[in-house]
């Protein structure tokens, strides 16, 4: 592990739904928590949500783990959130910032916080949404505000100023943590750390790149040249 990686303050949460990978990552001292979502679960072939939750909450007991509600009806979201909360004190329930009709989920988040549920407010991309979620969850049990910085960047907007401003909003409430969601590259870990994000999610593929953080660029260049040469030889290319 490089000195740069050891010096990170931001916590790394593994993002995925492959049970075997999650079990393996649980042994990684760099991983401070876990998150998943329905899209990742579908890609992993999960066909029984309740069984998936039961399995992971049995395996992961010492770190936060987030599961998302799957309804678009607020009453049903609330029922599902309370059900998921019942699996353990380390469970955070992911509530999207709105339903699919763009109706705010803030009243639901406030009710859940009042009931002692740790909420992970998800799919957030604007500072107004950060303010709404922070107001709903501030002062309650531990909660997370997940801002999808990677998707903000996909829209051609620099996420760093957004995340810096989001941190100022979230910092007004001692029970809230800011999460940099959907990173695209290792540089995002450095950016998240510099702006004071509390958490960043990383997929297993991105976690495998983390040892490159702080690597000497001259040495990295030479290793890349060697890789290209080795692959050309292995493929028996000829001109």
Cite the active site residues.
94
User: How far is Cα 24 from Cα 147, in angstroms, rounded to an integer?
Assistant: 27
- Residue 67: CA atoms inside 13 Å, Cβ hemisphere, count? 27
Q: Are strands 31-35 and 11-15 parallel, antiparallel or unpaired?
A: parallel
Q: How many CB atoms lie within 10 A of CB 67?
A: 27
Sign of torsion, CA 184 187 193 194? negative
Could you give the C-alpha distances from 109 to 29, 62, 145, in angstroms and in order? 31, 24, 11
User: How far is Cα 137 from Cα 118, in angstroms, rounded to an integer?
Assistant: 9
Sign of torsion, CA 71 74 146 155? positive
> Could you tell me where the beta strands, DSSP code E, fall in 57-163?
65-68, 91-96, 119-124, 143-147
> Could you tell me where the beta strands, DSSP code E, fall in the chain?
11-15, 31-35, 65-68, 91-96, 119-124, 143-147, 176-180, 199-202
Are the CB atoms for 134 and 173 separated by under 8 Å? Answer: yes
């Amino acid at each position: 592990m490089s000195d740069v990686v050891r010096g990170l303050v931001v916590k790394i949460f593994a993002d995925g739904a492959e049970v075997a990978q999650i079990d393996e990552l649980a042994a990684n001292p760099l991983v401070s928590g876990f998150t998943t979502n329905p899209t990742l679960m579908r890609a992993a072939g999960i066909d029984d949500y309740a069984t998936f939750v039961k399995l992971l909450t049995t395996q992961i007991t010492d770190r936060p783990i987030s599961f998302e509600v799957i309804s678009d009806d607020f009453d049903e979201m609330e029922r599902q959130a309370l059900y998921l909360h019942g699996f353990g004190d380390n469970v955070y329930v992911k509530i999207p910032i709105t339903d699919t009709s763009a109706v705010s989920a803030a009243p639901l988040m406030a009710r859940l916080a009042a009931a002692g549920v740790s909420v992970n407010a998800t799919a957030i991309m604007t500072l107004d949404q950060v303010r709404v979620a922070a107001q709903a969850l501030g002062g309650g049990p531990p909660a997370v505000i997940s801002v999808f910085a990677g998707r903000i960047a996909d829209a051609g907007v620099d996420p760093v100023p957004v995340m810096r401003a989001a941190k100022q909003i979230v910092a007004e409430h001692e029970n809230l943590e800011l999460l940099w969601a959907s990173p695209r590259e290792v540089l995002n870990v450095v950016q998240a750390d510099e702006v004071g994000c509390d958490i960043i999610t990383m997929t297993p593929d991105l976690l495998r790149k983390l040892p490159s953080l702080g690597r000497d660029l001259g040495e990295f260049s030479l290793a890349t040249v060697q890789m290209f040469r080795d692959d050309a030889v292995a493929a028996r290319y000829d001109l």
